[in-house]
Structure 1
């Protein structure tokens, strides 16, 4: 695969190029660019298979790259490189976008390259990432379904039920969806957002849609449409703490 590196820091470009040469010999770096403008020109001229793109650069954010191309022109994969904060990392996870956190670890680089070689990310994923990073609260989450990605509004997720390697996602205003992502994966992505809590080995709930906490019969949460979600004994205090936060 032919690759272009776009990063305003020369040391970062050199380090990434050396890592690719040592750990990813199937990747040929055909250009290194110090800003988005020269990166766009190189992409048009050299037609790479893969672009390593820094987000924070003077003049233009790396997120603006696709603004320079028509949708049918985007026939290359993108792996973002970033030193962004934890909020931004959650946005990447929500959007199903590959990223490498600086300083780049060789094993993470090789895994990202392997994924890029298997599939090219859809332009809609990048649009969702840009939207999520511009908002104070992450709203859209990308989940796999058969051979496609489905983009879900996290505000409208009522609760999620784990079913082995799959999960059923229940919404406030639309039919449930069965997706090929296990509950632990949803927990890693959603639960850093304080709205979501894993209250049971089989359930994650959106606390915005909880109506009441009933402590009888082992404890359960009351949701809309008379839905009752069981609460594990070790999660009771977490629920009570969350109620206190809401009261404040």
Structure 2
């Protein structure tokens, strides 16, 4: 059997390749690609029976593989490898797409390889990927993706108290009392949530969820007390606009 690994992380590719060599005796050829375009070239030249495809890559999502096979059959099996956690598992189950969660478990990899069969109905494979993409889009409607070292957690907007800038990092304060530290700037989240009216940036270091304001304090400037009793300052140059917004909404 020929297997192609498409993943932007060289370590992840090497780990998978080692597992395939050690655990899957039926695998005779292993190819690697660091991006989708390179991977598609290998698919068309080497004709692998199985493609282990990472979903989240910087340049292109693994789901975009359909763009390269619009007029061609997908006569190879795809198993997505992903760091998505339990919040996204339902998306895979809904689409009936095979997947492996990182870090890859050797037994699950063996099972995935053993299930490989050449699928002749190209529309069946393509439809499953389309369904998966729609499932992720639906999941994103009311949630935000937080990239953690162990994977990606999907958090409902209604569970976020506020975002706090911390240099090149952002602290995401949740109503559960926990705080997630994300390797993204506050601007990343501000831009992402610009069309979500429940989020407001009263200060260059904070992006708050208006639903969880408990009190507005006019002492030594203007401050908002959040549900967790944390006091958030309102910048002087944003005071007037903030008060107008409060009067308009509440």
Calculate the TM-score normalised by the size of structure 1: 0.52
CA distance in 2 between counterparts of 1:73 and 1:118 reads 11
CA distance in 2 between counterparts of 1:71 and 1:32 reads 24
CA distance in 2 between counterparts of 1:128 and 1:71 reads 19
Residue 136 (structure 1) shift: 2.8
| Counterpart residue number, 1:129 | 132
Q: Compared with structure 1, are the counterparts of its residues 30 and 136 closer, same or farther at alpha carbon in structure 2 (3 Å cutoff)?
A: closer
Counterparts of 1:1-248 in structure 2, within 5 Å, are: 1-70=1-70, 72-117=72-117, 122-136=125-139
Instruction: State the number of aligned residues.
Output: 138
CA distance in 2 between counterparts of 1:137 and 1:37 reads 26
Give me the CA root mean square deviation: 2.0
Residue 132 (structure 1) shift: 0.6
Q: Secondary structure at the match of 1:45?
A: helix
Residue 92 (structure 1) shift: 0.5
Q: Secondary structure at the match of 2:81?
A: strand
CA distance in 2 between counterparts of 1:36 and 1:122 reads 17
Q: Compared with structure 1, are the counterparts of its residues 29 and 66 closer, same or farther at alpha carbon in structure 2 (3 Å cutoff)?
A: farther
Calculate the TM-score normalised by the size of structure 2: 0.52
Residue 119 (structure 1) shift: 5.8
Structure number with larger C-alpha Rg: 2
Deviations 1:20-63 (A, max 9, x none): 11111112334200011111111111111110000111110011
Q: Secondary structure at the match of 2:66?
A: helix
